[in-house]
Structure 1
Amino acid sequence: MNTKKNYYYPLVIMGILFFVFGVMTWASAILIPYFKVGLELSNTQAALVAVASFISYFIFSIPASSFLNVVGYKKGLIIGLFVMSVGALLFIPAALSRQYTIFLIAIFVISIGMVLLQTAANPYVTIIGPRESTAQRMGFMGMANRLGGVLTQLIFSSILLSDAGDISSRLNIASPGEKELILTEYLSKVINPYIFLALFFVIVAVLIYFSNIPNLKDEEENKITEGTERKSILSFPYLVLGVIALFLDGSISVAVNNSILYGDALGIPFTISRHFSTYALTFTLIGFFGNTILIPKYLTQQKAVILCAFTGFILTLFSFFTDGVVSVWFLLAQAFLSAFTWGSIWGLAIRNIGKYTKLGSALLLMTLISYAIAPVIFGKIIDLNPMNPNLAVLMLVPTYAYLFYYGKKGYRVEYWKKRG
């Protein structure tokens, strides 16, 4: 690749897209406690928002990669944004009918558009510069992502959750007729924000339409990988092990993103817990900023994974053995670590796979299915242990153990069997 090329403009466009990813990801995090109150759901039922948001990554990542090969990056991005706009508008009939199923369909449609965008954006950012600085570029994208998340949290939480505690109290003493009126009014609050989002997606699509994004071609894609040519994508152990690492890594973000539900289970009032997601985003934003400064100049991607795994394990134990707001803070602090692990694992897993780069990126993107699975597990543990919700954070222990292994040894496994 010609590193002298000026990729500033396409990176800005990618930054806007990662901002969009942040907006929608953290909007979903707000919808979980919002639907729990407005639709009177259990923690497990409310977690289906995450299932609808992320299951499409597992189903459509590889088909989306093939689709982009046909239509190209630019058209794929525009189509993805329009699909997201349609999904956002579906919130109108969902809110008016108060049907959880329609809400989930709307979220799923939005996520299909997100898959198209991310399938294009992640490998684009990966191959636009040196592999050893992938985590740094991912750090910049992560900052844009979390900036979108912070703004969404501040706006959405103030609109949707500011009176959630009061609504819950009123529902407990309301008659059936009064309850219907309260819930109808409460759920209607989601309509205007999603109309705005639909318009925002269209504006970004128009911006991309009139832009000049080059169809970047990784110079390695048409070359044989170093050493003997591999027979398939599965012939790269460090990639396969990296896919597992990234899948487990998702549980960290999921636990942090569900800090509102965790705080509620610990008896923390909504007036306090509704700010937890904003705190988590702030920690993550600081982490991504540190990522761009430290990697790769002062800290290698491999060492970042090891250090974060060890620190995360300690923080998880502190969260388990403490109570109330203190326990939540130890959980929230792990958002700082997730800012380092995602980009670092991606960079270690995708290196030197040549013509399999796009397919490898699609496999890594499929791991976002963990964002659909982990919330259900997290919520179920809380529901089954109402007297000891701290048990839910222990799901992070095996995650950190595996990340430590991958950063220490897994990323170096070049072949499944030793070559003689």
Structure 2
Amino acid sequence: MSSSIAVSEQSRGGTLIPMLIIGILFFIFGFVTWLNGSLIPFLKIVCELNEFQALFVTFAFYIAYTFMALPSAAVLKRTGYKMGMVLGLIVMAVGALMFIPAAQTSHYALFLVALFVLGAGLTLLQTASNPYIVCVGPRESAAMRISVMGLVNKGAGIVVPVLFATWILTGMDQFEEPVLAALSAAEREARLAELSGRLVMPYIYMAIALVGLAAFVKFSPLQELELEEPDSEVDDKLGILAFPQVILGAVALFMYVGVEVIAGDTIGLYGRSLGVSHFGALTSYTMTFMVIGYGLGVLTIPRFLSQERALLGSALLGLLFTAGVMFGSGESHQISAVMFGWMGIPTVPDTVTFLALLGFANALVWPAVWPLALEGLGKYTGTGSALLIMGIAGGAILPLAYGHFADTSGSSQVAYWVMIPCYLFILFYALKGHKLRQWR
């Protein structure tokens, strides 16, 4: 297969159909990924876990990106980008079906294996689709196109927690710890098994939808990418390692995905610790702010805002909002009352609001890093994409670090300090890292 910094002449003339098809895939990314935010407190109850153990949900899902990114690049070389998307959807369908025995047995290890398989399929799907969006049009507007995809992706992140709370988390008062503690061991086990069994039908429907989508992509008019030679002389012995912008970009994405997952997937646990009754839907707050951020990107990039400045602003806002989470009030609801309480949306403590606002800060990091990191890679675009995808492993490691410090320090609020060094590195990449073309 040849490789592309641009699509063929035919597809360059019309990007609408590719954008629509890839947009559907990005909705699937969001649906599957942001379901984890609701799964974590759910499995914490079903499998009777502490906070650190519950965050292995994110570890199992995101660590798949580390193990499967380079194999995904190898698969794409053999199958092409379009068929790679099809195979990714099929692997995801297998992962969804694995939730059935996991739910029927309430065995946490089976849930983690199913999440890993889902993550593996998503790795292949993302490795194929992200460079497609970068290459389907002018480089300077790539962040805008990715922002459009982000709107779809995070739109799914708004919908999923609400659906999950409505379908799965109804009647949760009977699963509160004082109620369960009053039951006999057999009654407690039966009640938790009933709760776990609620997952079976949703994941059956998900598997069917994924197989149907694979067939749709297979027979769609999506064009194959055609890759050009790199823009500069490259030491073939080093290969992709000769491009500092992509190596540092992968580290930046590692940091970014880590803080994104912490903001989106721990907000339910943190809200529950503060007594927020609708904790299962709190991920939708973070996703709503991300959608607003992506919308801003669509409107301003590149006409009013360069990709570099968007990344710089994201890092600075991330540092500001993290400070708000760490030092804000866990009792006052004043900020959320001013921002959205007047619309009838349930208010939350100020620290939870700052955690949700990190969605806005994070929104433009992914869209900005991709085009900056893939600049000038030519035939190495596929491998560079795989390397950037490996950065998603930050979603596996950093939430566990947060969970560890939350448990050992006894303060979920203070433990959010782990995000500070992440935003500092993103700030470095925005100011200097993306400009480097040589290591010396």
Aligned residues of 1:252 and 1:335 also touching (Cα < 8 A): no
Distance 1:165 1:246 in 2: 39
Distance in 1 between residues matched to 2:110 and 2:21, nearest whole Å: 32
Aligned with 1:396 (options 399, 413, 419):
419
Residue 94 of structure 2: which of 80, 86, 89 is its match? 86
Whether 2:325 is the aligned partner of 1:319: answer yes
The separation in 2 between residues aligned to 1:205 and 1:251, in whole angstroms, is 29
Inter-partner Cα distance in structure 1 for 2:61 and 2:402? 16
In the alignment, which residue of structure 1 is the partner of 2:439? Answer: 416
- Partners of 2:89 and 2:183 in 1: CA distance: 41
- 2:328 is equivalent to residue 305 of structure 1: no
Say which of 348, 358, 366 aligns to 1:334. Answer: 358
Partner of 1:364: 388
Matched, 1:131 2:154: no
Q: 1:67 aligns with which of 75, 84, 102?
A: 75
1: CA distance, partners of 2:404 / 2:437: 38
Aligned to 1:96: 104
TM alignment of 1:345-364, pairs within 5 A: 345-364=369-388
Q: 1:4 to 1:48 in 2, by over 3 A?
A: closer
CA offsets 1:180-233 (integer angstroms, 9 cap, x no match): 111011101111111110111111112112212111213xx3x2423x334421
Q: Residue 58 of structure 1 corresponds to which residue in structure 2?
A: 66
Measure how far apart 1:165 and its partner are: 4.7
Q: CA deviation at 1:323?
A: 2.8
Aligned to 1:250: 257
Contact 2:27 2:153 in 1 (8 A): yes
Counterpart of 1:208 in structure 2 is 217
Residue type at the aligned position of 2:40: I
Aligned match of 2:44 = 36
* Partners of 1:4 and 1:195 in 2: CA distance: 38
Q: Is 1:147 the counterpart of 2:185 in the alignment?
A: no
Q: Is contact 2:258–2:392 with CA below 8 Å preserved after alignment?
A: no
1:234 paired residue among 222, 230, 241 = 241
Task: Give the one of 21, 26, 35 matched to 1:13.
Answer: 21
> C-alpha distance in 2, partners of 1:251/1:163?
32
Quote the Cα distance in structure 2 between the aligned partners of 1:240 and 1:93: 39
Report the 3-state secondary structure (helix = DSSP H, G, I; strand = E; otherwise coil) of the residue aligned with 1:161: coil
Contact 2:62 2:393 in 1 (8 A): yes
2:176 to 168, 189, 193: 168
Contact 1:160 / 1:190 at 8 angstroms: preserved in 2? yes
Hey, what's the Cα distance between the residues in 1 that align with 2:224 and 2:12? 17
TM-score, normalised by the number of residues in structure 2:
0.90
What is the TM-score of this pair, normalised by structure 1? 0.94
Gaps of 5+ in 1: none
DSSP 3-state at the match of 1:214: coil
- Per-residue deviation at 1:73? 2.4
Mean alpha-carbon deviation: is it higher for 185-194 or for 93-102?
93-102
Aligned 1:168-207 pairs, distance under 5 A: 168-169=176-177, 170-207=179-216
Structure 2 CA distance for partners of 1:297 and 1:378, relative to 1, 3 Å: same
Measure the CA separation in 2 of the matches of 1:375 and 1:88.
23
Residues 201 and 4 (structure 1 numbering): CA distance in 2 closer, same or farther, change over 3 Å? closer
Q: Secondary structure at the match of 2:84?
A: helix
- What percentage of aligned pairs have identical amino acids? 35
SS in 1 for 2:303: coil
Q: Report how far residue 240 of structure 1 moved.
A: 1.6
Deviation at 1:4, TM superposition (A): 4.8
